[in-house]
Structure 1
Amino acid sequence: MNPTGKQVYRYAGGLAVVLGVHAAVIIIALNWPGPKPIEMPPAAMVVELPPLPEPPAPPPPPQVAQQQPPAPVEEPPLPKLAEAPTPKIAVPKPVKPKAKPQPKPMEKKPDPPKEVPEQAAKTEPTESEKAAAPKPAPQQPAAPPSNSEAKRTWQSDLLQHLAKYKEYPRMARMRRNEGTVVLEFTLDSDGKLLEVAVAMSSGSSLLDEAAVKQVRKAAPMPKPPAELLSGGTVKLKAPFNFNLTDPR
């Protein structure tokens, strides 16, 4: 065999070895076990709250109608009357009445003494009577409030607590900005604020920032009931209204 044929066989053998090594690497890579998927925790329950109660607007001051004084009425002059002569009245002399004989005073008889009623003797019941007497039924404790009542009470307390920290930005009032901001925030079992975010903007960055600031200043909030907790937390969604008629 000539040298050229030997070189061809060498190249062919080397190529076959290289292809075999690559094929083995590909097969091992395909059969290599992948990472296990990470299980995500269950999604938190979102509780939507009604709009915050707005404080009532102060009543307008009562308008007092100014009453004009009536115009003076000129009275016509009275005609002069002729003076009548003063009449003389004859007074008869008083006649002294004859003294009547006074009747003798009647002697008053003393009232007979009133009989005092005898008081009934109070007798204490015997031991046999005490045993025969019916015993009072024990008072049953009041039933605890239902879950729905506890939820409504907590939501009402939470909305009243948030309303205390509402502030209308002065710059937003000057610009006549109004709108509603919807926030999502998470509380733990003690009412501490874990996170807050804007779910729906009002269209004004000043109002959005004021709503977020209001929630952060209100923390910690009333403790949520146990039936609303999911994994020790509760996620809430609440609208925050900003109207120029609001006094705050």
Structure 2
Amino acid sequence: MKTVAVLVALGSISAALLSACSSQKPDTQANRDATAKEIIEQVKTTPDGTSTADSLGAYKEDLARRISQVNSTKVHVERPQALLRSVIVIKYVVDKDGNLVRSEVVRTNKDKITEATALATLRSTAPFPKPPVALLSGGKVELSETWLFNNDGRFQLRTIAQPQKGE
């Protein structure tokens, strides 16, 4: 919960900074990309690349931050709009070395562009931080994540997303 509160606070600060800066310079793609990179935390790992997460939820947060970091140009940095363009849920499996073993879309609104973006951002992030041994079952860990897409095609991951507008 602390991580979510920090991300919400950072998102509010970044939104305020963006609106304050808008009178000085236009809101460009480069400005949004720089802001996205600044607010996404680094994932903490041991020297061998193993996540320091102590629970499945914490590991899922690590992976969500990593996906957002690697794909920062596609991340929406403000609160998601009230009526989302698309919600895509993907179930995926990570092996003991952090490799993406498989992934599948388990919820979609049939928006092929956002489906492709969600799968591509997941795949482009691999390999992931290695899961802690305590989380492994049969040498792997199974997770799911929800991509929340705004009309502009940018997303946030539900695990670390800010509340939607109107919530």
TM normalised by structure 1 equals: 0.37
Which one has the bigger strand percentage?
A: 2
Alignment-derived partner of residue 162 in structure 1: 67
Q: SS of the counterpart of 1:241?
A: strand
Alignment-derived partner of residue 206 in structure 1: 113
Deviation of residue 231 (structure 1)? Answer: 1.0
Q: SS of the counterpart of 2:109?
A: coil
Coordinate RMSD, CA, aligned: 3.3
Amino acid at match of 1:162: I
The 5 A counterparts of 1:182-193 are 182-193=89-100
Alignment-derived partner of residue 71 in structure 1: none
Q: SS of the counterpart of 2:54?
A: helix
Alignment-derived partner of residue 85 in structure 1: none
Asked if structure 1 preserves the Cα contact closer than 8 Å seen for 2:88 and 2:114, the reply is: yes
Alignment-derived partner of residue 54 in structure 2: 150
Deviation of residue 241 (structure 1)? Answer: 0.9
Partners of 2:108 and 2:88 in 1: how far apart? 5
Q: SS of the counterpart of 2:62?
A: helix
Q: Which is higher, the Rg of structure 1 or of structure 2?
A: 1
Partners of 1:215 and 1:63 in 2: how far apart? 32
Alignment-derived partner of residue 101 in structure 1: none
Alignment-derived partner of residue 135 in structure 2: 228
Deviation of residue 157 (structure 1)? Answer: 1.7
Instruction: Give deviations 1:54-102, integer Å, cap 9, x for gaps.
Output: 88363313799xxxxxxxxxxxxxxxxxxxxxxxxxxxxxxxxxxxxxx
Partners of 1:232 and 1:62 in 2: how far apart? 48
Count of equivalent residues: 106
* 1:197 corresponds to 2:104: yes
Instruction: Give deviations 1:37-64, integer Å, cap 9, x for gaps.
Output: xxxxxxxxxxxxx9xx788363313799
The 5 A counterparts of 1:82-161 are 150-151=54-55, 152-161=57-66
TM normalised by structure 2 equals: 0.53
Partners of 2:152 and 2:121 in 1: how far apart? 19
1:216 is matched with which residue: 123, 126, 136? 123
Deviation of residue 150 (structure 1)? Answer: 0.7
1:240 is matched with which residue: 138, 144, 147? 147
Gaps of 5+ in 2: 24-52, 76-83, 156-167
The 5 A counterparts of 1:41-120 are 56=11, 58-59=15-16, 60-61=19-20
Amino acid at match of 1:243: N
Deviation of residue 246 (structure 1)? Answer: 8.1
Gaps of 5+ in 1: 1-49, 65-148, 169-176
Q: SS of the counterpart of 2:146?
A: strand
Partners of 2:113 and 2:103 in 1: how far apart? 16
Asked if structure 1 preserves the Cα contact closer than 8 Å seen for 2:60 and 2:143, the reply is: no
